[in-house]
Structure 1
Amino acid sequence: MSDTQTRPLGAQISHMLKSRGVEVIFGIPGVHNQEMYRGIEEAGLTHVLARHEQGAGFMADGYARATGKPGVAYVITGPGLCNTMTPMGQAYSDSVPLLVLSSCLDETALRKGQLHQMKDQRAAADTVCDWSEVAQTPQAAYGLIDRALTEFATRRARSKHLSIPIAVLEAGAVAARPLSVTAKRPTARAEDIVLLSAQLRAAKRPLFIFGGGAAHTENATALMARWQAASMTTYAGRGIVAGDAPLHFGSCLARPSSVDVIARADLVIAIGTELAEVDLWRSELGHSAAMVRVDIDPVVLADQQAAQTCILADAASVMDALDQAIPESLQTQWSAPQTTTWRTRWRAEVDAERPGMLAVIDAVQAALPKDTMIYSDMTQFAYAAKEVWDMDRPGHWHHPYGFGTLGYATPAAIGGAIGRPGLPTVAIIGDYGFHYTLQELGVAVELGLPLPIILWDNGKLGEIEDSMTRAQIAPNAVVAHNPDFCKLAEAFGALATAPDRLADLPDVLAEAFNADRPTLIYLTPQTAR
């Protein structure tokens, strides 16, 4: 069929997405969005059938984080979109390129009581994503999809939503015009690099703080060594600097005493990080020196941290330019023994706050193969691990940071495993969070994914119980009846095991990665004893 002939717009959209490099769609069909499914197979797209739209959104999120490509979800009007809004909010806060395409009713002002009717579907979605629009024509649909894909490639990636009326999806439309996105994110200006180079050469205790926005920076470890600069990362930035680098303080920004280290710096360079509440758990970083912010988001550059120098540029471009501008070694007043002392102290604090948990974390870390991509949930296991688990490469631990939703890890890991066939992927989730999206186990079984799901069961909402205790509230509503998780997983057709000893984890995980289906690995505080 030539580009001048027509198909229903729903079918044309699938062909358009395929021509733009999209390979996988996550979603659930319904009578309202069925036209979007007309062209999926014909276009050569793979569709992953979720068990709940929240699962579809999280799978698309996990796929996007694993591949760097946009994650795309097809959902229905009304409840389908509402179910997807939690993943949309998570993708917005964590800078994930998630595109949600939904059907919508043709007219809602006069007609009431229609199936899946909402008062204002566009506005509802707009509260949790970068933008939410309604395309009333094929040209608008094509243009808005291309706008989303272009913004993913050139700006801070955040979730977008597009609704298309049912009648518009059903009507004939010519194909979208060809498009190749060649634009790139902003790069550093020469004058910015000259200024930053001078500041760095003059500093005696320069401190770099890398966030997830710098994950594609490849030379940070070598440059920190050459310039004798100290470094820290946010949780999302782990792996940008090697964990064993002599002057690397790790990912303990949220430790209250990290302020004492930060206050010693005479130059702070924050690259690709919001320095948000979930990075610091305090309102201010704690620096007294001049601060340089490097980010592609102008909102970050003008936040409450009050940087003296703001550079609107891609993190990797700035580091590459600095590499050329400062080829020589620098001498500073940082020392490796100081770094070791602080890291030892912070690890001891984590161990004291969560007795016995570090032994389990260390055992899991030692048992995982290189290049494992990890998806974690809102669980105490992950909270502790993010502070003590050094990653050997960036962009390989994904967590629902800002929005902080439960139930993320299982479906996100499924999306990640789909995006990385043949490479190890693992989910880490707590007992309570597992309940939110456990039905997506069926997807992993259906697809034969060799996905270990490490379920940490402390029998309660442990973090909430601890918070209530600190607030002098008698803990209540923090304990719920749990099923036999292993039998539940087996009922879905998954494998399940509950190792008695941490020493068994290497064999258990090796078997899980070689299985023809997901494996639930059940761990409790008693496992470490």
Structure 2
Amino acid sequence: MQRPLGAQISHMLKDRGVDVIFGIPGVHNQEMYRGLAEAGLTHVLARHEQGAGFMADGYARATGSPGVAYVITGPGITNIMTPMGQAYSDSVPLLVISSCLDETAARRGQLHQMKDQRAAAETVCDWSEVARTPEAAYALIDRALCEFVAGRRRPKAIHVPIAALEALAPNARPFGELHGLLPQPAPSDIAVLAQALRSAKKPLFIFGGGAQWIDFAGPVLRRWNVASFTTYAARGVVPPDDPLCFGSYLARPGSADVLATADLVVVFGSELSETDLWRDRLGASVPIIQVDIDPEVLAKEGPPIHADAFSVFEALSEAVPEVLKTEWKPEHVHSFRSRCRAEVDAERPGIVPVCDALRDCLPEGTMIYSDMTQFAYAAKEVWDMEQPGHWHHPTGFGTLGYATPAAIGGAVGRPGLPTMAIIGDYGFHYTMAELGVAVELGLSLPIILWDNGKLKEIEESMVRAQIAPNAVVARNPDFCKLAEAFGARTAAPKTLSQMQQAVRGAFEANGPTLIYLTPEIGSAP
């Protein structure tokens, strides 16, 4: 059947398993909206392309399926580039499809014109290409979807000229189900790992975001008596009651001392970036065995294993079925964790008790999206997760305003399952308009707004650098009245028990609830 290419793209995506599109229509990309309803796609109308991108990111993290966004030429792309950069940093499968101008070299002054839209987008994604024909558009979409299951999951951008979107095009070819094609470990790699593990007296594993699909690590690690750390993204891979888990305190200086005592270190699915460690080197005194699907990561450290972390861990668990004895002592691990928790509490007074109370009142399986705020910085260290892949934070790119729209995307991807956002007062300003989307969709979404009245993390950094704090205080609105103007419910609890009651009610409400907290709640009786 012949349809305009813009409509065919929607039909093609639906045929490939895409169910939801996040975006904003405009005169340049309206042809992409022609086939939405006919194809059976759900469209979520964002209030800003940045919000659309974060929603698609949150949807992808919640479901494991690609998040897809439709945007317009020029400002649509520039507005969504921040979410693309975040998705690139955090390995999220985000597909951005935009319109673009038919000709830019010989014609100036057009609506939404950029000097080079394709090149601009490429600075924050895996690749960015222009599809000038239906065949090119179909091939690029299939390439993106295949790469999402065959390698490191990073955003792609496809730009389609307006005239091509409007022109009639044939159907895309049928496509079978996409299966994972991640690199598998060689038997020799597993044999080397097994021998190293059996020989080690103090083996230590580090799990990163690339290992978050490992959901059976607890019993295996206990059988081997292996100690472990997790990055922030991998919390929950190791059960919180594992007696030899050092937790997500990898960025604490004391972790380097622990690592220096290990005689085997294996890193599963982590590039050990600056935001994982906050120091130049890991601190291990032995060669590090790096397991990763990204060759660029493997070039950084010791003996590499180019394979999927899940497959390697699974094969290793079968290769070493016996119980192992090591020299790790649970009491030493407990002492380390207690020391680190006390450090967090001292650095950010009053937050740890709030984290504990909030954690204790959440329904089982709650998925959390957090923002760049001191509350989240503390929580990522002291808050143990029961299962992996249920706390999402803009770790690498470090953008503000992520949590609210990302949580909306996550809630759309998990209908009927509990989702929560945690955001600071300043970050809320960035994407507050997306609260209207949560109201419009009737999402039972608690939004924890932590208001310390300033950019406190930056203020404290300035003080440490002996800079007089400057430009760190902004005039805040009455956040509760603002949320109510959008049609949301609100609560401003003064005690931890009131907070817990408000959170429980928010999960039962027919719409979002902004729960306004200030630091005083942590010291309230």
Give the stretch that moved more between structures: 507-516 or 423-432.
507-516
Q: Map 1:370-519 onto structure 2 (within 5 A).
A: 370-519=364-513
In 1, are the aligned partners of 2:215 and 2:388 still within 8 Å (CA)? Answer: no
> 1:357: how far off?
1.1
Q: Map 1:204-283 onto structure 2 (within 5 A).
A: 204-283=201-280
Aligned sequence identity (%) = 70
> 1:182: how far off?
3.2
Per-residue displacement from partner, 1:316-369 (whole Å, max 9, x unpaired)? 111110111000000000010000000000000001101111111111111111
Distance in 2 of aligned mates of 1:219 and 1:392: 12
In 1, are the aligned partners of 2:450 and 2:518 still within 8 Å (CA)? Answer: yes
In 2, are the aligned partners of 1:185 and 1:314 still within 8 Å (CA)? Answer: yes
Unpaired runs of at least 5, structure 2: none
Distance in 2 of aligned mates of 1:324 and 1:404: 38
> 1:506: how far off?
2.4
Per-residue displacement from partner, 1:262-296 (whole Å, max 9, x unpaired)? 10000000001110000000111001112111001
**Aligned residue identity for 2:241:** D
| 1:334 aligns to 2:328 (yes or no) | yes
> 1:500: how far off?
1.0
Distance in 1 of aligned mates of 2:374 and 2:500: 22
In 1, are the aligned partners of 2:8 and 2:35 still within 8 Å (CA)? Answer: yes
In 2, are the aligned partners of 1:12 and 1:39 still within 8 Å (CA)? Answer: yes
**Aligned residue identity for 1:375:** Y
Name the SS of the counterpart of 1:481 in structure 2: coil
Q: Which residue is 1:525 aligned to?
A: 519
Name the SS of the counterpart of 2:96 in structure 1: strand
Distance in 2 of aligned mates of 1:267 and 1:71: 38
In 1, are the aligned partners of 2:230 and 2:248 still within 8 Å (CA)? Answer: yes
> 1:183: how far off?
4.7
Distance in 2 of aligned mates of 1:147 and 1:528: 50
Q: Which residue is 2:362 aligned to?
A: 368
Distance in 2 of aligned mates of 1:284 and 1:461: 29
In 2, are the aligned partners of 1:450 and 1:519 still within 8 Å (CA)? Answer: yes
**Aligned residue identity for 1:467:** S
Per-residue displacement from partner, 1:146-185 (whole Å, max 9, x unpaired)? 0000000110000000000000000000010011223521
| 1:87 aligns to 2:83 (yes or no) | yes
| 1:356 aligns to 2:356 (yes or no) | no
> 1:503: how far off?
1.1
**Aligned residue identity for 1:446:** E
Q: Structure 2 length as normaliser, TM-score? A: 0.99
CA RMSD across the alignment: 0.6
**Aligned residue identity for 2:152:** R
**Aligned residue identity for 2:102:** D
Name the SS of the counterpart of 1:57 in structure 2: helix
Distance in 1 of aligned mates of 2:212 and 2:328: 24
In 2, are the aligned partners of 1:407 and 1:436 still within 8 Å (CA)? Answer: yes
| 1:189 aligns to 2:186 (yes or no) | yes
In 2, are the aligned partners of 1:211 and 1:273 still within 8 Å (CA)? Answer: yes
Distance in 2 of aligned mates of 1:179 and 1:265: 49
Distance in 1 of aligned mates of 2:262 and 2:58: 36
Moved segments of 4+, more than 3 Å: none
| 1:105 aligns to 2:113 (yes or no) | no
Q: Which residue is 1:314 aligned to?
A: 308
> 1:495: how far off?
0.4
> 1:505: how far off?
2.3
Distance in 1 of aligned mates of 2:500 and 2:475: 30
In 2, are the aligned partners of 1:218 and 1:316 still within 8 Å (CA)? Answer: no
Name the SS of the counterpart of 1:284 in structure 2: coil
Distance in 2 of aligned mates of 1:8 and 1:255: 56
Q: Which residue is 1:202 aligned to?
A: 199
In 2, are the aligned partners of 1:205 and 1:334 still within 8 Å (CA)? Answer: yes
Name the SS of the counterpart of 1:346 in structure 2: helix
| 1:347 aligns to 2:341 (yes or no) | yes
In 1, are the aligned partners of 2:404 and 2:421 still within 8 Å (CA)? Answer: yes
Distance in 1 of aligned mates of 2:509 and 2:122: 41
Per-residue displacement from partner, 1:414-433 (whole Å, max 9, x unpaired)? 00000001100000000000
Name the SS of the counterpart of 1:48 in structure 2: strand
In 1, are the aligned partners of 2:90 and 2:396 still within 8 Å (CA)? Answer: yes
**Aligned residue identity for 1:488:** L
> 1:504: how far off?
1.5
**Aligned residue identity for 2:221:** M
Distance in 1 of aligned mates of 2:319 and 2:464: 50
Q: Structure 1 length as normaliser, TM-score? A: 0.98
In 2, are the aligned partners of 1:206 and 1:230 still within 8 Å (CA)? Answer: yes
Q: Give the number of equivalent residue pairs.
A: 522
**Aligned residue identity for 1:196:** L
Distance in 2 of aligned mates of 1:376 and 1:522: 15
Give the stretch that moved more between structures: 284-293 or 400-409.
284-293
Q: Which residue is 1:55 aligned to?
A: 51
